[in-house]
Structure 1
Amino acid sequence: MNAFRMPERPHGWRPPQYARAVGCLRAALPTIAPIRRQAVSAWSEQSRFLLDNGSVVPWRNSVTPYMVEPMDTTTSRRFRAAVFVGPARTGKTDALILNKTAHTICCDPQDLRIVHMSQDAAREFSRKKLGQLIRYTPDVSERLGKERYDDNTLIKNFEGNMSVDVAWPVVAKMSASDIPLMLLTDYDRMPEDIGGEGTAFDLSFKRTQTFGSRGMTVVESSPGRPVLDDDFDAPETERHLAPPCTGILSLYNRGTRGRFYWPCPDCSSLFEPDFKLLQYPEKGTPAEKGAGAFLACPHCGCVLEHRHKRERNQFAQWLHESRIGELVPIHDDSLRETDIASWWLNGTVAAFQSWAELVTRYEGALEEFDRTRDSKALKTTITVDQGKPFSERLIADEDELSVKELKDRAEPYALNIAPAESRFLLIAVDVQKGRFVVEVFAFGVELEHWVIARFDMHTPPSSAPRAQERAIDPARYSEDWDALFDLLEREFPVLGAPFSLVPVALVVDGFGEEGVTKHAYAFYRRAKAKGYRGRVFISKGMRGYDRDRAVLRTPEKQEGKRLKKASDLKILQIGTWKMKNELVAALSRTDPGPGACHLSKNLPTDVFEELCAEEKTSKGWELKKGKKRNEAFDLGVYALALVIVLKGERINWDRPPTWAAELDRNAFARARSLAFTSDSKEPDAQDVAREEEQPEPSLEPAQQTSKPSRKKRPRSRRRRGFGDY
C-alpha cells in the first residue's frame, strides 16, 4: 500500500490565520470597560457631528441651549423617565434621541431601543437619522461591529456587546424583553393603546424596571392630542399644569413640569416667552403681519425682536414646580416628588423657526378657517409650530359659554328663595338612571329669570313598592313618578315680601331609557286625574333647525298597520337646537333685563359645567369630547320651551294674567303666615285667563303678518289645573 502524501502546495502559500486569544480579548474589553462619566451635552459638543445644509458641522449646545438640561438628565439616577414636549424645529429629536444614543454607544454601552410611530417611520429613521449619526460621527462609526450582521436596517450592533434596535409600537416590541434604555420619538402620533395592554410609555417604563435606577425611558413629541376640557384653568399652586390631554402632556403633568423662562434685559424679571406675547399689526396679509411681529415683556413692556432670541436663550433657565407650588431649578431639594423629569417648551423659543413664520402660518390658518370652517391647518400650526394642544375653544363662536365666565358672572343670591322681582315659578325635570334631576326657575317681568334651586330626587314616594330599600327607578316603577307631584305643592318664599310662590307648571323629559316613555305617559294621565290639568307637561327634544321652537302635539300610536293619534296625550315637542341658541343668548347677557338668565354663586359646580358641556358645530349641537353630563343645559331649554306653550312671550305686562301678576293678586301666591296643604284650593288658570286672553304663540314671529283675533272662553268652575292647551 502506498503511504499517504500531502498534496503539493502552490508557491507562496501560507497557512490560514486562526483567531488569537489576544484578538478575542481586545474585542471583549469594551464590555468590561468602566463607564465614561461625561454629561451628554459635553460629549455631544466634543464628539458629535451632523449634516447641516450639505455640510458636516460639529454639534453646538449654544444653538439649542434649552436642550442641555433635558439631555443631561437622561443619565440621572434620580429620575427613571425624561419627558420633553415641544414644537417642531427645536432640535429635540437630535438632542434626546440621537445624542443620547451616541453617548450610550461611546460612554456607557448597553442595549437600547428606539421606538417610532410606525414601521415605515422606523425604517426611515434608521436609514436617514441613525445612518447619518453613524456615518458622520467618527467616535460612533469606529465602534460599529464589523461582522456581517452587525449593520442591518433596524438593528445595529456595536462594541461592548451592545445593540441599537429601531422598532415601532406593537406588543411584540413593547413587551418582549427587558431593555435598560427606551427612547420614544414622536409619541403623540403613536396609538393610545398598544394591543389592549396600555400606552407605549407605560409599557416601555416597565421594560426598564429590572435595571432600577440605571433604567431610563426618554419620550419626546409635539402635542397632538386635543384638550379634553376647554374650560380648564390651572390652579395657582400648579401654575405649570398642562390642560387635561392624553398623550405626552399627560406624561408631562406626571413629572416635574419644567418651563423655560427668559430674563427681561430691562427689568430683569423672569417671564415665559409665549405666542400670546407676540404683537403684530391687525391689518394686512398674513405675511405682512408676520414681518411686523415683536415680543413685549409682560412686566415692563420692553420690546424684543426676533434677533434677540438667541441671546435671551443663552441667559434663560428651566424652572420646575416644587412641592408647595414655587418655581425652582431641577436640582432643588424642594422639587415636586416624582420619578419623571418633564419639560414643556413653546414655539416662540424654538431655534429653527422665526416669529415671522409663526405669525404668518397662524394668521393664514385663521383666514382659511374663516373661509371654509376647516380647522385642520389651524390645528397643525398650533400643535406643530407653537407646541400647544389644540382646543375647540379656539374655533368656538365668540358667544359660546365657558365655565369660568359663568362663575365670574354668577350672583350671590340665596337658593330656594325667589327674587323680589319674581312673578311665577316653573320646574324642569330631567330623568336619569336612579334619580330625577330638578331645577326651579323664577321668572319676572319680560321673562328675566333666575335659577333658584337645583337638586336630585333619589328617594321613591312612600307608596311605591320597597320604597325604603331602593333608589328611584323611573324606567321600571311607574309609582316613582308620583314623587314629582310634591314639587307642584312646594312653596318658595319671595325675598322681602310676605308671600311665597307655588310653581305654575312642571315639565319632565319623557324620552330616554327604555320604559321611561310608558311611565311618563302614565304620570301625565294621573296628573290630569288628580286635577293638575295644564300644569304637567311631558317633553320630547327634536334635533334640527327645521323644527318648531316649542309646540304641543298629540303623539301617534300604531294599531296594526294604521297610525292613530292618542287623543288623551299632548307632548311638548322642543326644537332643541333653536332653544339652545336662545338659552346661550340668555346666559351670555351681561346686564339684567328682558330674557336675561341669572345664576347663583351657591349653585353646585356641576351646574356651570353642564351648561358648557355642549358645543355648536356644523352638524348642530353636540356634546364636547370628554363630557357626559349636560342636564343643566337641557333643563334650561325645557323651562324656556314651557314658557312658550304657556304663552308667556305674549304677556302684556301692564295687564298680566293673574298667574303672572304682582304678588298681592297673583293666583299662585300664598301668604307666608298660612301653611300650604294639599287640600288648599288651587288657582284655576282657565279662570284667570278670562281676564286676559292670550293669542296662540307664534312659533316664527318674523313670519306673522297679522294679529289673531281673540276668542272669549266660557266661564267654568274653578279647578286645580290650567286646562288643556
Structure 2
Amino acid sequence: MNDNGSIVPWRNSVTPYMVEPMDVSTSRRFRACVFAGPARTGKTDALILNKTGHTISCDPQDVRIVHMSIDAAKEFARKKLAALIRYSPEVAARLGKDRYDDNTLTKNFEGNMSVDVAWPVPAKMSASDIPLMLLTDYDRMPEDIGGEGTPFDLSFKRTQTFGSRGMTIAESSPGRIVLDDDFEAPENQPHLAPPCTGILAIYNRGTRGRFYWPCPDCSESFEPDFRLLQYPEEGTPAEKGQAAFMACPHCGCILEHRHKRERNQLARWMHEGKGGQLVSIHDEALRETDIASWWLNGTVAAFQSWAELVTRYEGALEEFVSTGDSKALKTTVTVDQGKPFSERITADDDELSVKELRDRAEKYQLNIAPAETRFLIVAVDVQKGRFVVQVFAFGVELEHWVIARMDIHTPPETAPRAKDRAIDPARYPEDWDVLFDLLEREFPVLGLAFSLVPVALVVDSAGEDGVTKNAYAFYRRSKIKGYRGRVFISKGMTRWDRDRAVLRTPEKQEGKRLKQASDLKILQIGTWRLKSELVAALSRTDPGPGACHLSKNLPSEVFEELCAEEKTAKGWALKKGKKRNEAFDLGVYALALVIVLKGERINWNRPPAWAAELEKNAFARVRPMASDHEEATGDGGTAEVETEAETATPESPKPERQVRPNRKKRSRSRHRRGLGDY
C-alpha cells in the first residue's frame, strides 16, 4: 500500500474496518460487495489492489478493473497496478514472460488469466463474461452506459455466468446529490441511506453495514459521525478544527482524535436484519440479499484527522456564506465526510422541512372550523383523474387554518357514464359540476351554534389538454347557476416582478383585426412572491396575523407537498426527486383569492358581511349544538380525511341568510349571488 508516498506492506491494524469487506469479497454467499466511504480510508488498496493480488496468487481467473475514464484507467494501470506487481514478489513471479504479457492496460499471468484496466463504455462493460469485475471511484462514472444500464448492473451481468464464483466489487465516496432533502430512515430500516443514485443506491440494495464503536465508559455502541464532533462556534476554521472532540451520544464520554485508532480496533460492523435489528454479516437473520454492503463515516478514516475534517468543512461553509458557491462545501461533505450532499445544508434557515411542519402541527379536528373563523375559502388543483381540494378557515388579520383536504375521484351523477369511470377534468366538462357542491357544504364552527359555507372557490385552469377549455366553461356555468363572484379560475405567473394577485379580463380576437374583451375574468397569480409569503406564514411559530396552522390529522402527503419546492436564484422550483406539490399550490391559490377579495384591506372593526362575526355573517347559518364528543379538539376520533366524492361533497340545504345585505335591488341572499362582480 502507498503510505505518504512510500510503498509499505499492507497491515490490517491500520485499517481494521477493511478486514470484513476483504474477507467477504472471497465469499460464495454473496455475488457483489459494495463499499461507500470517504477518501483516505484505504478502500481502493483493500478492495481493488489487494483483491487483484489475492486472485493472481490464490484463485487465478480473469479480472477487469474499471475506472471512471480512459485517462484515469491509464494512470491507475501505470501507478497502482504496476506497483502492485513490482513490489509483490508472489504476484511478479506469476507475470507472463512473453513480450505481449505486460502491456499498459493488460497484464497476463500464469494460469491463463489476465488483468485488464478499462473504462465505462459499452464495449468494456457488455462484450464478454468476466468472473471478477472491480469498479473503482464508482460515483464518478456515468450513470448510464450507452443507454444499457448502470456500470454496476452491467458488471453484475458479466459475472452471472460464473455462478457463486462470480463477484462484482464497487467502491467509491458518495458523489451524488440527495434526491429527498427531508428523508428520514424508517425505524425498521435504520441503516437506509438517503435516496440518491450511485454507490449509495447499490448500498441500499445490500446488507447495509455500518461501523460501530464501543464507548470506553458506558460500553454502549454508537456510530461515530461528523455530527457528533463538537468544537467552538467562534474562531477561525483551523482553530475550530484543533479544538474538535467527539462525545458519546449515550453518556457524553469525551473522545479525542488520539483515541480513534484504539476505538477502530475494538469496533465492529453491524448490518440490518430481516426485521430491522442489527446483526453481524454471518447471522442467519441477515437481510435477504446477494449484495454485501458497507458505509463508513469520515471520522473513522485512518488517514485524516478530525482537525482536518472540521477545518475543511468550516472553511468551505464560510466560502459559501460569503460567495454563494457551494462547490467546496459539496467536496468536503462527499470526499472528507463520506456523505451524499444535500441542498438542505445550503438552505435558508427559514426553509420548510417536513419534520418541522409535523412537529409544529396542532391537535385540532378536521372538517370543523375554529371558533375564530370569519370566512372559508376552497382551493382546488386539477390533476389527472382527480380534483385535489383544501379548505381554509380565515380569521381576524387573516390568520388561517387548513381544515380539510380531500381528493375527489368520482364524477357527479349527472355526468356521462359516471358509475363506470374516474373523474376526468380534461375530457368531461360535466365533471366540473362536482365542485359546485363544495360551495354549499356546511362546516360547523367549534363550540358555537353556527356553521359556515365557503365564501368562494378558486380552481387552477392549467393541466392536460382540455383542462383550460373546461375550466372556462365551468366559470361561465357558475354565473348561470347563480355563483357570480364566488367562483374564480386561476393562472400561475412566474418571475418576481409579477403582481401578487390580480383579476384580468383577457382579450379575444375575432377574425384578423377585431379584438374585444372576453367574458372571462382570470385570477393571475404571481406564484413566486406568494410562495415566499406562504413559507413565511407556515414558518411562524406563534399565532397571530397571517399565521398558517396545520392539523396533525392532515394526511402525511400534505406536509411533504408543502416542502416539495425550494427557492433558487432562478425562482421557486421542485426539489430533485419531488413530483407532487399540490398542498403548496393550494395554499398559494387561497392567499391569492383573499387578495382579490380585498381581504387584506378589511377594517376588522367594520368588516364586510362575508367576514363579519358569525351573528352577522352572510355565510353563516344557525345549527343545533353538537355534543362535546363530536367537537373534540383533535386526538383522532372522527377526524378522518375524506377521499371520495360522496363524502367530500354531501348535499346540504342552502345556507340561511342571517342578515339582509345592505345592497339595493338585491332580492336573493348574498351568499348565493356572490360577492359582486370582480
Corresponding residue of 2:546: 595
The answer to whether residue 114 in structure 2 is matched with residue 163 in structure 1 is yes
The amino acid across from 1:356 in the alignment is A
Gaps of 5+ in 1: 1-49, 691-712
Alignment partner of 1:342: what SS? strand
The answer to whether residue 382 in structure 2 is matched with residue 431 in structure 1 is yes
Q: Shift of the alpha carbon at 1:472?
A: 2.2
The answer to whether residue 109 in structure 2 is matched with residue 154 in structure 1 is no
Change (3 A) 1:235 1:318: same
Q: Shift of the alpha carbon at 1:324?
A: 2.4
Counterpart of 2:621 (choices 666, 670, 673) is 670
Corresponding residue of 2:503: 552
The answer to whether residue 8 in structure 2 is matched with residue 57 in structure 1 is yes
| TM alignment of 1:349-388, pairs within 5 A | 349-388=300-339
Gaps of 5+ in 2: 626-649
Corresponding residue of 2:259: 308
The answer to whether residue 562 in structure 2 is matched with residue 611 in structure 1 is yes
Measure the CA separation in 2 of the matches of 1:683 and 1:134: 93
Corresponding residue of 1:633: 584
Counterpart of 2:344 (choices 393, 403, 409) is 393
The answer to whether residue 7 in structure 2 is matched with residue 83 in structure 1 is no
Does structure 2 conserve the Cα–Cα contact (< 8 Å) formed by 1:114 and 1:167?
Answer: yes
Does structure 1 conserve the Cα–Cα contact (< 8 Å) formed by 2:334 and 2:341?
Answer: yes
The answer to whether residue 153 in structure 2 is matched with residue 202 in structure 1 is yes
Normalised to the residue count of structure 2, the TM-score between the two structures is: 0.92
The answer to whether residue 30 in structure 2 is matched with residue 74 in structure 1 is no
Corresponding residue of 1:660: 611
Q: Shift of the alpha carbon at 1:465?
A: 2.7
Structure 1 residues 526-555: Cα deviation after superposition (integer angstroms, max 9, x where no partner): 211221111111111111111111111111
Counterpart of 2:519 (choices 568, 580, 586) is 568
Measure the CA separation in 1 of the matches of 2:549 and 2:262: 52
Does structure 2 conserve the Cα–Cα contact (< 8 Å) formed by 1:428 and 1:439?
Answer: yes
Q: Shift of the alpha carbon at 1:469?
A: 2.9
Does structure 1 conserve the Cα–Cα contact (< 8 Å) formed by 2:67 and 2:117?
Answer: yes
Corresponding residue of 1:482: 433
Alignment partner of 2:524: what SS? strand
Does structure 2 conserve the Cα–Cα contact (< 8 Å) formed by 1:683 and 1:721?
Answer: no
The answer to whether residue 430 in structure 2 is matched with residue 516 in structure 1 is no
Measure the CA separation in 2 of the matches of 1:447 and 1:563: 43
Does structure 1 conserve the Cα–Cα contact (< 8 Å) formed by 2:181 and 2:344?
Answer: yes
Measure the CA separation in 2 of the matches of 1:262 and 1:464: 65
The answer to whether residue 676 in structure 2 is matched with residue 723 in structure 1 is yes
The amino acid across from 1:294 in the alignment is F
Q: Shift of the alpha carbon at 1:168?
A: 1.4
The amino acid across from 2:334 in the alignment is T
The answer to whether residue 258 in structure 2 is matched with residue 289 in structure 1 is no
Alignment partner of 2:192: what SS? coil
Measure the CA separation in 2 of the matches of 1:563 and 1:579: 36
Does structure 2 conserve the Cα–Cα contact (< 8 Å) formed by 1:180 and 1:208?
Answer: yes
Measure the CA separation in 2 of the matches of 1:138 and 1:563: 92
The answer to whether residue 88 in structure 2 is matched with residue 137 in structure 1 is yes
Alignment partner of 1:638: what SS? helix
Structure 1 residues 696-716: Cα deviation after superposition (integer angstroms, max 9, x where no partner): xxxxxxxxxxxxxxxxx8664
Structure 1 residues 249-290: Cα deviation after superposition (integer angstroms, max 9, x where no partner): 111111111111112222222211111111112112212221
Does structure 1 conserve the Cα–Cα contact (< 8 Å) formed by 2:440 and 2:655?
Answer: no
Counterpart of 1:451 (choices 392, 398, 402) is 402
Measure the CA separation in 2 of the matches of 1:564 and 1:606: 45
Alignment partner of 1:637: what SS? helix
The amino acid across from 2:552 in the alignment is K
Measure the CA separation in 1 of the matches of 2:259 and 2:501: 61
The amino acid across from 2:677 in the alignment is D
Corresponding residue of 2:647: none
Alignment partner of 1:238: what SS? coil
The amino acid across from 2:65 in the alignment is I
Counterpart of 1:215 (choices 147, 156, 166) is 166
Counterpart of 1:280 (choices 231, 253, 256) is 231
Corresponding residue of 2:124: 173
| TM alignment of 1:485-504, pairs within 5 A | 485-504=436-455
Change (3 A) 1:340 1:499: same
Does structure 2 conserve the Cα–Cα contact (< 8 Å) formed by 1:491 and 1:501?
Answer: yes
The amino acid across from 1:159 in the alignment is E
The amino acid across from 1:582 in the alignment is E
Corresponding residue of 1:710: none
Alignment partner of 1:621: what SS? strand
Measure the CA separation in 1 of the matches of 2:397 and 2:198: 49
Measure the CA separation in 2 of the matches of 1:208 and 1:90: 27
Corresponding residue of 1:409: 360
Structure 1 residues 151-201: Cα deviation after superposition (integer angstroms, max 9, x where no partner): 112111001111112111222222222221111111111111222222111
The answer to whether residue 596 in structure 2 is matched with residue 645 in structure 1 is yes
The answer to whether residue 331 in structure 2 is matched with residue 331 in structure 1 is no
Count of residues in Structure 1 that have an aligned counterpart in Structure 2 = 651
Alignment partner of 1:468: what SS? helix
Counterpart of 1:531 (choices 482, 505, 515) is 482
Structure 1 residues 660-710: Cα deviation after superposition (integer angstroms, max 9, x where no partner): 122222111122259x9887477599x74x5xxxxxxxxxxxxxxxxxxxx
The amino acid across from 1:549 in the alignment is R
Specify which structure has the bigger relative contact order, considering alpha-carbon pairs within 8 angstroms and separated by 6 or more residues: 2
Q: Shift of the alpha carbon at 1:67?
A: 0.7
* Same amino acid, percent of matched pairs: 82
Structure 1 residues 404-432: Cα deviation after superposition (integer angstroms, max 9, x where no partner): 22122222322222122221111001111
Structure 1 residues 102-132: Cα deviation after superposition (integer angstroms, max 9, x where no partner): 0110111111111111222111111111011
Counterpart of 2:210 (choices 254, 259, 263) is 259
Alignment partner of 2:529: what SS? helix
Measure the CA separation in 1 of the matches of 2:373 and 2:7: 79
Q: Shift of the alpha carbon at 1:473?
A: 2.1
Measure the CA separation in 2 of the matches of 1:181 and 1:681: 76
Q: Shift of the alpha carbon at 1:147?
A: 0.4
Q: Shift of the alpha carbon at 1:564?
A: 3.4
Corresponding residue of 1:16: none
Does structure 2 conserve the Cα–Cα contact (< 8 Å) formed by 1:684 and 1:721?
Answer: no
Measure the CA separation in 1 of the matches of 2:199 and 2:652: 60
Does structure 2 conserve the Cα–Cα contact (< 8 Å) formed by 1:51 and 1:136?
Answer: no
Corresponding residue of 1:127: 78
Alignment partner of 1:366: what SS? helix
Normalised to the residue count of structure 1, the TM-score between the two structures is: 0.87
Q: Shift of the alpha carbon at 1:448?
A: 1.5
Counterpart of 1:190 (choices 141, 146, 155) is 141
Change (3 A) 1:56 1:683: same
Corresponding residue of 2:193: 242
Change (3 A) 1:557 1:331: same
Alignment partner of 1:418: what SS? coil
Q: CA RMSD in A?
A: 2.0
The amino acid across from 1:554 in the alignment is T
Alignment partner of 2:525: what SS? strand
Q: Shift of the alpha carbon at 1:478?
A: 2.1
Structure 1 residues 558-606: Cα deviation after superposition (integer angstroms, max 9, x where no partner): 3445583524222111111111111111111222222221112222111
Range with bigger deviation, 562-571 or 129-138: 562-571
Does structure 2 conserve the Cα–Cα contact (< 8 Å) formed by 1:556 and 1:563?
Answer: no
Change (3 A) 1:465 1:182: same
Q: Shift of the alpha carbon at 1:332?
A: 2.1
Q: Shift of the alpha carbon at 1:140?
A: 0.9
Measure the CA separation in 1 of the matches of 2:292 and 2:514: 67
Alignment partner of 1:506: what SS? strand
Corresponding residue of 1:11: none
Q: Shift of the alpha carbon at 1:463?
A: 2.6
The amino acid across from 1:557 in the alignment is K
Q: Shift of the alpha carbon at 1:650?
A: 1.8
